[in-house]
Amino acid sequence: MTDLATKINFSPRLGDLSIFGVGVRRKGPIKIYSVGLYGNSTARESIKDLSASSNKEDAFEELRSKVKSNPPTTFLLKMNFKVGAEKMASAIADSVAPRHSGDSNEVDNLKKLIFEGISEKGAATKGTTFQFDCSNDKISVSVDGVDQGSVESSGLSQAFCDVYLDKNSVSNALKESCLNNCGKP
């Protein structure tokens, strides 16, 4: 599957998970990265009757609910634009923080994992990948295929999913793509 905005390709499978959709994260006119959402067959089955042609907001909320209640879910980010290590780690952490009602140290730990994963390079350059594996009890982080560790927290994992799936999503294109690819017309 290809993100049409950036022309970045995503594999149809990531381990046991299949791709649900792709989208772009923009900051103004700049296409920062493309994101792919991967989920399991249970989650896919639970959203097959959703339709983008019905009430879109209701369909988006149902998509969010079904994906979050059927983990694991993986978000694969592929950079399209160079961003410094501190700025990238902060941007993701700042998106998660207001959605997370738990201990703020959990968000700080997530930020640290992201930062440490790209700090050797100094920046997340075009082609850098970030993989966030969200499960019932933790979120695991990999940068360029290298495991950076995890933060034990179901709340943080859920908050991370909301960055891409709630009504204030950083990529509405991702939600649209998920509905178009997994739901009914």
| pLDDT tens, N- to C-terminus, the chain (185 residues) | 999 999 999 999 999 999 999 999 999 999 999 999 999 999 999 999 988 777 889 999 999 999 999 999 999 999 999 999 999 999 999 999 999 999 999 999 999 999 999 998 999 999 999 999 999 999 999 999 999 999 999 999 999 999 999 999 999 999 999 999 998 87
Annotate the chain with three-state secondary structure: CEECCCCEECCCEECCEEEEEEEEEEECCEEEEEEEEEECHHHHHHHCCCECCCCHHHHHHHHHHHHHCCCCEEEEEEECCCEEHHHHHHHHHHHHHHHCCCCHHHHHHHHHHHHHHHHCCCEECCCCEEEEEECCCEEEEEECCEEEEEEECHHHHHHHHHHHHCCCCCCHHHHHHHHHHHCEC
Q: Which amino acid is at 181?
A: N
Look at residue 55 in the predicted model and tell me its pLDDT: 84
Exposure string of 10-39, with b = 16+ CB inside 10 Å and e = fewer, is beeebeebbbbbbbbbbeeeebbbbbbbbb
Quick one: tokens of 183? 């739901």
| CA 89 to chain CA centroid, nearest Å | 14
Look at residue 56 in the predicted model and tell me its pLDDT: 87
Q: Rounded CA gap, 167 and 101, in Å?
A: 17
Look at residue 79 in the predicted model and tell me its pLDDT: 98
Look at residue 184 in the predicted model and tell me its pLDDT: 85
